[in-house]
Amino acid sequence: MTGPQPSGDTHGARGPNRRPRAAASDEPTAARSARDNDAGWETYHEQMFDVAKAPNGFIRWKILSSGVNMARQLAGARNRGRAAWVAEHGQDPDAWPLPHPPAVLWMPTVASAACLRCLWLGYRGVSDPDEAAAAARGHAAEYVTADSAAARLLLREPLPVWQRNDPHDEPGPQTAG
Ligand SMILES: [Zn+2]
């Protein structure tokens, strides 16, 4: 991952034992690293929820339980989207037709805007995939120069919608925008 990372961390440098704020699970590290499919979920979680502002213990507990699940599922959907993009356009982000490829993530019934390069997440609780697509394009457009006509054209294409991986879900939207 070479793109700019959302900072999210306002607490300055921390020691090597720094744990993500959202590490609600006490699973051994080895078990965790065995499944990279939800890599980046901590960064998603930080953008979705502010544990410090939880009004009470119940909400805090929900953020650290259900909220972590949601962040993991969204990160998993995003990583499948990224894998598909890489399969088509290669591993080298400098050679991609869009520096920050936009995507829409779907978890019934909320659509989120995402980027397939960095871990930016537009999580606003909207259920309209087209609205999420517009937000994702807004992020992508920040990295497209005015003279890049091909990239601008590509930005107008409908975006694929990446679903969370839950066999019980009704099929969600396939494209957005
Ligand atoms: Zn990005």
Domain count, the chain: 1
Query: What pLDDT score does 158 carry?
Result: 95
Task: Give the residue carrying structure tokens 């995507």.
Answer: 103
Find all residues with CB under 8 Å of 13, minimum gap 6, and list them: none
Task: List helix spans (H) across 65-126.
Answer: 66-89
Q: How far is the CA of 155 from the centre of ligand 1 (A)?
A: 13
Q: CB of 117 within 8 A of CB of 99?
A: yes
Q: How far is the CA of 163 from the centre of ligand 1 (A)?
A: 19
Query: What pLDDT score does 68 carry?
Result: 97
Average pLDDT over the chain reads 84
Q: CB of 111 within 8 A of CB of 131?
A: yes
Q: How far is the CA of 147 from the centre of ligand 1 (A)?
A: 19
Query: What pLDDT score does 35 carry?
Result: 57
User: H or E stretch including 61?
Assistant: helix 57-64
Distance, in Å, from the CA atom of 7 to the CA atom of 120, rounded to the nearest integer, reads: 10
Q: Domain range for residue 144?
A: 40-176
Distance, in Å, from the CA atom of 177 to the CA atom of 40, rounded to the nearest integer, reads: 25
Low-confidence ranges of the chain (pLDDT < 50): 1-34
Query: What pLDDT score does 147 carry?
Result: 86
Distance, in Å, from the CA atom of 107 to the CA atom of 121, rounded to the nearest integer, reads: 14
Among 138, 118, 129, 139, residue whose Cα is nearest residue 159: 129
What's the distance, Cα to Cα, between the start and end of the chain in Å?
A: 26
Distance, in Å, from the CA atom of 129 to the CA atom of 133, rounded to the nearest integer, reads: 6
Q: How far is the CA of 32 from the centre of ligand 1 (A)?
A: 25
Residue 142 lies in a domain: yes
Residue 51 lies in a domain: yes
Residue 8 lies in a domain: no
Residue 29 lies in a domain: no
Residue 67 lies in a domain: yes
According to DSSP, residue 6 is labeled P
Residue 87 lies in a domain: yes
Q: CB of 65 within 8 A of CB of 22?
A: no
Residue 20 lies in a domain: no
In this structure, which amino acid lies at residue 11? H
Residue 104 lies in a domain: yes
